[in-house]
Amino acid sequence: MVVLIDTNVIIDFFLKREPYSESAAEILLKCADKELVGYLAFHSIPNIWYILRKVPERKRRGWLKDICSVLFVTGASHEEVLRAIDNEEFSDFEDCLQDRCAKSKGAQYIITRNVKDFDGSEIPAVSPQEFLDMIKG
């Protein structure tokens, strides 16, 4: 199964934010174990870098290297970006780009804590716990 992991799930994992870090870790472990093919949108990397700006630079670089060894980085084509620009279904343009990146890789799901922000998404968005519950049974 192919999934795109939203920025907030990765931040939950890095910062061990409760009550979300356990499900984020479980999903990333499934990606590391090749049970899932996990993707990270290219534009999430500078977002993560910025959000974690209070973390020492060396540690941030290590975290980014680690996450890029577990998840594949993907982008969207020029045409998909233009579709995102024209898409007025999304209230958050960055989430629309996440959807376009997920589509470009044939992802079945976008795993995010902001499911409501993906109402206009072509790829279904599910929370980390919802996703884990689905694949368990």
pLDDT confidence bin for 30, thresholds 50/70/90: very high
Domain total of the chain: 1
Confidence band for 106, pLDDT divided at 50, 70 and 90: very high
Q: For 38, which DSSP code?
A: E
Give the percent of the chain with pLDDT over 70.
Answer: 99
3-state SS, residue 47 = helix
Residue 129 has pLDDT above 80, yes or no: yes
Instruction: Tell me the CATH number at 66.
Output: 3.40.50.1010
Question: Angle at which helices 57-70 and 7-15 pack, to 10 degrees?
Answer: 120
Q: What is the pLDDT of residue 90?
A: 85
| Separation in Å, CA 68 to CA 5, 49, 61, 87, 95 | 12, 13, 11, 29, 20
In this predicted structure, what is the pLDDT of residue 88?
Answer: 84
Structural domain of 129:
2-136
The pTM (predicted TM-score) of the whole model is: 0.93
